[in-house]
Amino acid sequence: MTHDSQELQPNQGSSSGTAPQSTQDGQEQQQEEPGRDSKMFSLAGSQPPSRNQPVAYVDPEYTQYNPHYNEENREPVWSLAQPLPRVVRPGMRPESAIKEEDKEEQDKPSKDHQGPGPAAQEPPAEVPPTDEQEDRPEAKVARPDDRGFHNRWSKLRHFFRQELAEWIGTTVAITLGLCASQSTYTSNNQAGTYPSIALTWGAAYMIGIYVAGGISGGHLNPAITISMSVWRGFPLRKCLTYIVAQVLGGLTAGGLAYAIYHDQIVTAAATRKVPQNHSAALQGLLTFPKDNVQPATAFFTEFLATAVLVGSIMALGDDANAPPGAGMQAFIIAILISAIFLALGYNTGGCFNGVRDFGPRLVAVMAGWGGHVFRDHDVWWIWGPWAAVITGGLCGGFAYDSLIFTGGESPVNYPPRRRKRAALIKEKNIRRKLRFRKGKIQDIEKAVQKTEE
């Protein structure tokens, strides 16, 4: 009998206490789960048993000088690198619970009067440092402050860590993709082909997700961020800061790609005796419909591609479906993006991300290509990479939630009264933040109470 089968023996005994029966090689006993058929013939396979993952060595004194290390994450992360969190949205709570939470928030002391910060909540080191170690000069200068920060930058980074992660992840992903496109088009397909561009874009987004996925979620795309907010409860207040970080990432990526391939862009334009904005570099830097593609076709190409992308991401993040194994989700998304690029990218250049087009377009204007790049193809950059992509992403999430997803955090699964109540609560919160008159807020609260009767 193998070692694995011996480990499974304690869980294989019958309720009467008899000895477990041996099973044939390659067979696994399936445990029935409530609300789910015990025999599921899934092409995604069954979930493997959990195993202890190897842990890197941590010096006993490390947490003393790095108190934020291994700090428990107290907030959900809508990450593309792991299953999406299950959250309770405001419309799911009764009004009495919301009032109690508001009261608790008011009773909490302000940040200026709080005690020690995250460092005080960290467990002590396994081996406490001795007095001699405490008195060492290197220990004194390396010790963080009362809140666990080493310097002013670490304090600032703590409050904008998610946005910074989203910026660097977007920068890495789009830079790699743009450079692959530039190397192909400026070399007249000597350094690559269209399929190689598609594979590189998929791998580039995979790397970006691995860079930022554990911190910000690695959305790297406004359409994904907005869809997560609408269908999975991602905080609406975070949407704006994430999109700003993504736009800055696209701008940074466009500048890096143009700077790195500037010599090749100039050479390609001189070889064909055309200005840079009419050379092959234009196709590698920006997206636009082919001349023989109708506007409606271009719009629905981007719409359909993003709908498939977001719907598939929702499926990968649904732990009740068949999520991939640990660390594999970003790899599956890379394959997904490459497949979408190959299947639907030819008509429009394969944008599927507003900041992938907007950032390089701004760089093109700053490089002297002319402001007409924002007016070409009937202002394509608005109704294509932004309007079509965002609406496609929302419809992709709606399709998945309508047909498959059963979680209560999706508005599709709200009962009519709950949907009305959630809308009223959201209106009340907005009016309270904007300091509207209290009489109107009280009327909304009464309307909320009527929906609960």
Q: Is 321 exposed, middle or buried (0-12, 13-18, 19+ CB in 10 A)?
A: middle
**Mean pLDDT computed over 140-159:** 71
pLDDT-derived band at 325 (thresholds 50, 70, 90) equals confident
Q: List beta partners, residue 33.
A: 36
pLDDT-derived band at 23 (thresholds 50, 70, 90) equals very low
Whole-number pLDDT of residue 359: 97
* pLDDT (tens digit per residue) in 382-422: 999 999 999 999 999 999 999 999 888 888 988 777 777 77
* Residues contacting residue 448 through CB under 8 Å, at least 6 positions apart: 95, 421, 424, 425, 428
Contact between 385 and 357 under an 8 Å Cβ cutoff? The reply is yes
Higher pLDDT, 49 or 303: 303
> Would you say residue 303 has pLDDT above 80?
yes
* pLDDT (tens digit per residue) in 405-414: 988 888 898 8
Please give the Cα distance from 226 to 354 (Å, whole number): 12
- Would you tell me which CATH number, out of the four given (3.20.20.70, 1.20.1250.20, 2.102.10.10, 1.20.1080.10), belongs to the domain 158-403? 1.20.1080.10
- CA angle, corner 108, sides to 229 and 421, nearest 5? 40
CA nearest neighbour of 169 among 234, 223, 217 = 217
Q: What is the DSSP string of 232-294?
A: H---HHHHHHHHHHHHHHHHHHHHHHHHHTHHHHHHHHHHHTS-GGGSTHHHHH-----TTS-
Please give the Cα distance from 202 to 146 (Å, whole number): 43
pLDDT-derived band at 130 (thresholds 50, 70, 90) equals low
Please give the Cα distance from 395 to 227 (Å, whole number): 9
**Mean pLDDT computed over 175-187:** 96
> What are the residue boundaries of the structural domains of the chain, listed by start?
158-403, 415-452
Whole-number pLDDT of residue 395: 98
Helix (H, G, I), strand (E, B) or coil at 42: coil
Q: Quick one: tokens of 137? A: 């000069």
pTM: 0.74
**Residue holding tokens 């009340």?**
428
